[in-house]
Chains A and B, each alone.
Chain A
Amino acid sequence: EAAVTQSPRSKVAVTGGKVTLSCHQTNNHDYMYWYRQDTGHGLRLIHYSYVADSTEKGDIPDGYKASRPSQENFSLILELASLSQTAVYFCASSLNTGQLYFGEGSKLTVL
């Protein structure tokens, strides 16, 4: 049974619309992350969190917000989706050991 689950797995959004990507983990890990994957750029960190009700900016936070209402849940929010945010988004959890456990990814297409 998958320990990090993402929803939706695929979404088509319109430019300027709001998008929420959700992540749920059953690993009992303190750390959770949102990464963006693009061809030619690899994996880039958007936001992360090490405790509920607190989030930290990663390397490319502009245009994204994050929310961690509980240890198990971590959401990524695009208030005004843009074409440049078309990508595959990965959520991950960790015990702060460097071993990240990733979900299966959410493919976002902004038209």
Chain B
Amino acid sequence: GDSVTQTEGQVALSEEDFLTIHCNYSASGYPTLFWYVQYPGEGPQLLFRASRDKEKGSSRGFEATYDKGTTSFHLRKASVQESDSAVYYCALSVSGGSNAKLTFGKGTKLSVKS
């Protein structure tokens, strides 16, 4: 079945550090890829998405590029802030053109200290 692998379970950084969270996927079809963010005490919310190879998604200083060749969608931010502390989920959908059913990775908890 379809799956998403996030390498890092936890990441601890200082403000202004560079962030990379690795996401690799396995899918039977041509997936749409997503990054979701979950702040403490809240439900996850969409950060951004990408639907085709080489497309870059971005929001709030975060970005990721769809790479079909390496089946990856790594999340990056040049300079993190304490307010970025949250859990980040990579996800995909492959449903014959429908984006109804999402498969999520296990999540990466980001902690940023000032």
A positions within 8 Å CB-CB of B: 4, 31, 35, 40-45, 48, 50, 58-59, 90, 92, 94, 96-105
**CB atoms of B104 and A99 under 8 A apart:** no
Of residues 38 to 76 in B, which have CB atoms within 8 Å of A's CB atoms?
41-46, 49
In order of increasing CB-CB distance, the 3 nearest A-B pairs are A102-B43, A98-B99, A42-B106
Write the residues of chain B forming the contact surface with A, with a CB cutoff of 8 angstroms: 1, 6, 9, 32, 34, 36, 41-46, 49, 89, 93, 98-107
How many residue pairs between the two chains, A and B, have CB atoms under 8 Å in the bound complex?
58
What are 17 contact pairs spanning A and B, CB under 8 A? Answer: A40-B106, A45-B101, A45-B103, A48-B101, A59-B1, A59-B103, A90-B43, A90-B44, A92-B43, A94-B99, A97-B99, A98-B99, A98-B102, A100-B36, A101-B45, A104-B41, A104-B42
